[in-house]
Amino acid sequence: MTKKMSATTSSLPAGAPIPAFSDSAVSVLDRRYLMKDKEGTVLEKPEDMLWRVASTIATADASYDKKADIDGLAMDFYTMMAQFDFMPNSPTLMNAGRELGQLSACFVLPIEDSMESIFEAVKQTALIHKSGGGTGFSFSRVRPHHDIVHSTKGVSSGPISFMSVFDVATETIKQGGTRRGANMAMLRVDHPDIMDFIKVKADLKKLNNFNISVAVTNNFMDAVENDEDYDIINPRDNSVVARKSARKVFKQIVKQAWFSGEPGIVFIDRMNEGNPTPALGAIEATNPCGEQPLLPHESCNLGSINLANMVVDGTINYDKLADIVEKGVHFLDNVVDLNRYPLPEIAKITKGNRKVGLGVMGFADMLILLGIPYSSKEAIDVADKVMKFVDDTAYQASVKLAQIRGAFPNFAKSIYYDKDPNTPVRNATRTTIAPTGTISILANCSSGVEPLFAVSYVRRVMDNAEFYEVNQLFEKYAKENGFYSTSLMKTIAEHGTVQGIAEVPVKYRQIFETAHDISPKNHIDIQAAFQRHTNNAVSKTINFPHSATEDEVHEAYMRSYKQGCKGVTIYRDGCRDNQVLSTGKTENQSVDPAKGKASEHQRIKRDRPRKLTGSTYQMETGCGPMYVTINEDDEGLQFELFNMVGKAGGCAASQCEAIGRLVSLAWRSGMAPEPILKQLIGISCHKPHGLGKNKVVSCADAIAKAIQQHMEGNGHAACKDGNAGHQMFGACPECGGVVEHEGGCCICHSCGYSECG
């Protein structure tokens, strides 16, 4: 029975533990989670928020047992959150015990091959995004572009055209001031428009509010291995309309992912092999980060266990882990009952299957506490053993709940009934490995099953002061062993890693590996180990250095498939926002002053000829459309830049004019474009535009991206040296900190900002 939730007035009981949130966590809570009045004044303390959530979620037990100890259960739920052993997904923390009452992060909506279905999905998307959720879609049922439409005697505009409608709708909702929801678009690899879909995000102006993934079949992967053709199928009538070279299509996927990090790959047949209710339909799509395969109109509620807290005196305390797993399943099952779903169709299928997704975070911290390097075989063994224990225990907890509350309503249509009709299960799925960017900040642990994103990094505060944020375990070990110093933390922050730093003992260099110290093979092996014991899927980023080749990406995709992963997300360091598209040859070379150019030691401004040629680029910014004109001299070198945005005389227009004049002065004085790009790209303001790798975070950033496009369009090759350290997708729009690609999402560890909502 769904209960209406309103803001709770219950106060925290005396003697309840007070959570020791870090300064970063308190900042995140103030920005995103704590109740506020209409003036923005915070109305609750962090511990009050946790009690609001715990006391609300515990009330569901009264529906099954009138004598249930609701207060005792609420304290159990509160304690495991206050001690950072478990955290539910963000919508539950934000909305439990409040008027909205929407507690789910993950939704999938159906799209059929009709205008009615498509625009109904647009409306439903708006309602879900308004409630704080993210949406996934498969556009595979939509007939290809230029296909016949019998009812109108016209032709179809195809799935990509309709994706743009969803993109614009999402942008409109975002501009309306509500919490933005993210989107995932998927298309089957055998759809006639697949090549256009693979390449769609090569255009930086398209689908800014979408992640995209190709739904790859087993037949296709077999054809890739055997260098065979495969069938292309028109979804309008399921007819075979062509055959394509599997390797050619796969090569295009690899090429585009190498270039921009998208599209991702979802092994759709493998996901359906794990579909617990195939009689209800096939899985066609996932949530925005890819870890939650769902049926049409289905949603899922997620929560994560902090594995670092399961290490006691250098060993894993499996008794404690079992206790938290059982309580976590109980908590999430209650969420299914109490959730206020945005649509009745969602309530029906979600309550029919009662899927929950209990996952883990703090895995990298667990390995450090155990003294095990992330890239070692021992780490794979720990991942395998721990996740098997979590999955087995979650299943037993679900069976135990079913004995009291009954099996999920669709149990008789499930694989569980086929295997053992006499053992009811409460939840069709129990385990998911989700990205935990924000809740891991609250729990002060590493994110999901990712390695550390950094050991030390610079954090900037509002007065532009800088200090070094240091991993708490590294700081502890460094101080205990006498090698801690501020200068060392600065050195580590500048290098982005402890590898090769002699002041750090070898032992600690081995266990404090970061994402870019670890090979793609090691990343994949860890993902595969967790996937073996996860009902749903695993959200993880496979990191590559900037110098990685397309062949290496190809190899990683094949390894992921053979290792049993359900999907793959790769990111090559600096592949989009900081990609310098130039040979770099003019940076340091001396030039002939007679030709109006200068050496590095003396720059001479060239006179402007009466006629120049160039191109104009339209860039979308938070201040509106910007038009950037780049002119070249007769030798093809950049000479000047003009831009126009907003009304003349306005602040944005004047600032952008100033940037244009300075860029023009630099070019006329012989400066190469690379240092200009490095200075402008990633500068952020309060009005970013777009999503993910295609995001424009300021007008300055837009100018830099226009320069990139111009150079790429003129055939300049990518710079091979890259930039030192880790690259980011631009600065965080909320605090200006580093935005990292983690768990298939972009997050800021400084303030908790997440592009996935």
- 65-95: burial string, b at 16+ Cβ within 10 Å, e else: eeeeeeeebbbbbbbbbbebbbbbbbbbbbb
* CA angle (521 as vertex; 198, 731 as ends), nearest 5: 60
Task: Look at phi and psi of residue 71 and say left if phi exceeds 0, alpha if psi is from -120 to 50, else beta.
Answer: alpha
Q: Report CA torsion sign: 286, 292, 297, 302.
A: negative
Contact call for residues 375 and 522 (beta carbons, < 8 A) = yes
| Residue bearing tokens 């509002």 | 462
Catalytic residue positions, numbered: 287, 289, 291
Amino acid (one-letter) located at 420:
D
CA–CA dist 79, 70 (Å, integer): 14
**Torsion angle (degrees, nearest 10) of CA 319, 309, 564, 224:** 180
In sequence order, which residues have a C-beta less than 8 Å from that of residue 718 and are 6 or more positions away?
Answer: 579, 580, 581
β-pairing verdict for 106-109 and 134-138: parallel
CA–CA dist 333, 60 (Å, integer): 9
CA–CA dist 62, 77 (Å, integer): 15
Amino acid (one-letter) located at 245:
S
Amino acid (one-letter) located at 489:
M
* Longest alpha-carbon distance in the chain: 94
Task: Look at phi and psi of residue 199 and say left if phi exceeds 0, alpha if psi is from -120 to 50, else beta.
Answer: alpha
- Both tokens of 559, joined, read 């390894």
Among 293, 280, 292, CA closest to 348: 280
What phi and psi values does residue 397 have, to the nearest 5 degrees? -65, -35
| Residue bearing tokens 């969420």 | 335
| Residue bearing tokens 């002061």 | 465
CA–CA dist 706, 690 (Å, integer): 15
Residue count of the chain: 757
CA–CA dist 742, 329 (Å, integer): 25
Among 579, 576, 606, 595, CA closest to 674: 579
Among 529, 530, 568, CA closest to 359: 530
CA–CA dist 672, 670 (Å, integer): 6
Distances (CA, A) of 251 to 201, 504, 553, 554, 627: 16, 42, 10, 8, 34
